[in-house]
Amino acid sequence: MTISTRFAPSPTGYLHVGGARTALFSWLYARKHGGQFVLRIEDTDLERSTAESVNAILEGMTWLGLEYDKGPFYQTERFERYNEIIQQLMDNGLAYRCNCSRERLDAMRDEAMKNKTKPRYDGHCRNRQVDPNEPHVIRFLNPEDGAVVVDDLVRGKVAFSNAELDDLIIKRTDGSPTYNLTVVVDDMDMDINVVIRGDDHLNNTPRQINILRALGQEPPKYAHVPMILGDDGARLSKRHGAVSVMQYREEGYLPEALLNYLVRLGWSHGDQEIFTVDEMIELFDIDAVNKAASTFNTEKLLWLNQHYIKTSDPARIAHLLSPHMGKLDIDPSEGADLVDVVRAQQERAKTLVEMAEISAFIYKDFDAYDEKAAKKNLRPADRKPLEAVQVALQNLDEWTREILHQTVEQVAEALEVKMGKVAQPLRVAVVGRAASPGIDDTLYLVGKEACLSRIERALEFITQREQNA
């Protein structure tokens, strides 16, 4: 039997972290077992579903590299099929019309709340012949006896008494089908045999199993994964920071870092922390997913992101970095080769946004010196080494890292000081702050003309400081 899983988001917002993890688990399970992964867009909530949200979901899936084998399928294009199944249930006496008023239903609910019992429909219309021409809903005739046992791949066996499940509505008064009906028909038609989803859907599962059995279908296997919590123990939400997958891209995270982080949210393989996608496919299994909720830890994600930035091909990082440079009004094609910049900064940045910010000085002048760095390294005593290195750099015919390193070294020797006494004032003059790649890398990437101009500016700054003393 070919394994077939699905990811079925509602397009009422962005692709969030919880959804992305569900998609990842479903994708990994299908890939591990040589199966198929289906993308389905559950867009029957016409008021809240938007084309922008559909695009955000598709974009998020593409960015994460979770390619699907079939789809995307849209539920709004399948209403005819849902109505066909509803009619089949009606014809077989497994569904019925109900015209109970809102007042009657509210009174029933109030009574149940007062008696501290679970609110459920009392089957009033089960044996009544409701006129199809008057406003009505259609309800599924749920079995009254026995129990539904969900043999969950994560939680184990979970039993639900049919007496606790009421006759749920499968078609609204306006003629639109409801979630539990559409999901059943889609899973049946798309040959889905493993459903991996959040545990907030667990209570829907016995209802869906009963409808499937009423249609003569064998239910899929279910795996309900626990929710993701913020570091305060509450369900992960916007107030915990970024929860949209594309927001992580905007903040300079790599897709492989987010995937690696998500796979470890509730699943583990010994003490291993770093997983390639191939390793995830080989090692992942749904029965190793924890039953307990997972806590999102941004520091851990940052650590992973830094690891991937450090160890990835500089050309790929440069490609991903380029848009972040653009947001700083920098065109990387005008100046140092961005791949060289990445090589110089790979060890120094946790995100691509940070890498862009600490690399901006290479392409454009900075507005002001870091106050602490200037106070320590642009003093009157630093004038002499700066003037000496300015002359030495001006006289260079070649601008290579090796020659630049030798030049700074030779100036230090001539002045009989340690190299840092020349390199650090030079770094602050050229970069504007006390931290940058090695001085030879820094000078090489900034270029001769800009370096000489910035040294001149630093000397003027020292003169101004002397005059104000």
Cβ neighbors of 9 (< 8 A, separation 6 or more) are 15, 19, 23, 41, 42, 57
**Predicted pLDDT of residue 232:** 83
- For residues 208 and 262, what is the distance between their CA atoms, to the nearest angstrom? 28
pTM of the model: 0.92
The domain in which residue 293 lies consists of 238-311
In a domain, 403, yes or no: yes
The neighbour count for residue 328, using CB atoms within 10 Å, is 13
Which stretch of 110-124, 255-269, 388-402, 417-431 has the lowest confidence by average pLDDT? 110-124
Query: Is residue 24 situated within a structural domain?
Result: no
Considering the domain architecture, whether residues 421 and 338 belong to the same structural domain is answered as no
Q: What is the pLDDT of residue 144?
A: 92
Cα–Cα distances (Å) from 397 to 393, 400, 404, in that order, read 9, 10, 11
At residue 238, does pLDDT exceed 80? no
* Residue 118 binned pLDDT confidence (cut-offs 50, 70, 90): confident
Residue 19 lies in a domain: no
Q: What is the CATH number of the domain that holds 187?
A: 3.40.50.620
> What is the DSSP code (8-state) at residue 290?
-
Residue 335 and residue 259 share a domain = no
**Which of 330, 346, 364 is the last residue before a domain boundary?**
364
- Domain final position from 225, 256, 290: 225
Q: What is the mean pLDDT of residues 154-177?
A: 95
Specify whether 304 is located in the same domain as 407: no
| Cα separations in angstroms, 86 against 23, 67, 78, 218 | 29, 33, 13, 18
Residue 359 pLDDT exceeds 80? yes
Q: Report the share of the chain in percent with pLDDT over 90.
A: 93
Q: What's the pLDDT at 251?
A: 96
Q: pLDDT > 70: what percent of the chain?
A: 99
Concerning whether 364 is annotated as a catalytic residue, the answer is no
Residue 236: pLDDT band (50, 70, 90) is confident
Among the ranges given (70-74, 244-248, 453-457), the one the predictor scored with the smallest mean pLDDT:
244-248
How far apart are the C-alpha atoms of 423 and 375, rounded to whole Å?
Answer: 16
| DSSP codes of every residue in 302-368 | HHHHHHHHHHS-HHHHHHHHHHHHHTTT--TTSSS-HHHHHHHHTTT-SSHHHHHHHHHHHHS--SS
Query: Around Cβ 254, how many Cβ atoms within 10 Å?
Result: 23
Question: Longest Cα pair distance anywhere in the chain, in angstroms?
Answer: 105
Question: What's residue 441's pLDDT?
Answer: 97
User: DSSP assignment, residue 145?
Assistant: S
pLDDT above 90: residue 468? no
- Average pLDDT for residues 129-143, to the nearest whole number? 96
Radius of gyration in angstroms for the set of CA atoms belonging to the chain, rounded to a whole number: 32
pLDDT of residue 241: 67
Strand boundaries in 86-218, DSSP class E: 95-98, 137-140, 147-152, 156-161, 169-171, 194-198
* 322, pLDDT greater than 90: yes
Res 465: pLDDT: 87
Q: Evaluate if residue 427 carries a pLDDT over 70.
A: yes
Q: Residue 257's CB: how many other CB atoms inside 10 A? A: 22
Range 263-280 average pLDDT: 96
**Looking at the structure, do residues 214 and 85 belong to the same domain, yes or no?**
yes
Total tally of structural domains belonging to the chain: 4
Residue 243's pLDDT is 78
Q: Which tokens go with 111?
A: 């009574």
Specify if 400 maps to a domain. yes
Distance (Å, rounded) from C-alpha 427 to C-alpha 433? 7
How confident is the model at residue 443, as a pLDDT?
A: 98
User: Is residue 469 pLDDT above 80, yes or no?
Assistant: no
* Domain assignment of residue 410, yes or no: yes
Residue 105 in any domain: the answer is: yes
Catalytic residue (choose from 70, 171, 238, 364): 238
Sheet holding 36-41, edge to edge: 4-7, 36-41, 70-74
Q: And the tokens for 182?
A: 């559409």
Q: What would the pLDDT profile of 54-109 be if each residue is shown by its tens digit?
A: 999 999 999 999 999 999 999 999 999 999 999 999 999 999 999 999 999 999 99
| Phi, psi (deg, nearest 5) at residue 65 | 80, 20
- Where does the pLDDT of residue 47 fall: very low under 50, low under 70, confident under 90, or very high at 90 and above? confident
Of 268, 286, 311, which residue constitutes the final position of a domain?
A: 311
Min mean pLDDT across 113-117, 200-204, 435-439 is at 113-117
How does DSSP classify residue 286? G
Q: What is the DSSP letter of 132?
A: T
Tell me which H or E stretch contains 225. strand 221-225
φ, ψ of residue 242 in degrees (nearest 5): -65, 130
Which pLDDT score, from 0 to 100, does residue 235 have?
Answer: 84
Q: What is the pLDDT of residue 45?
A: 85
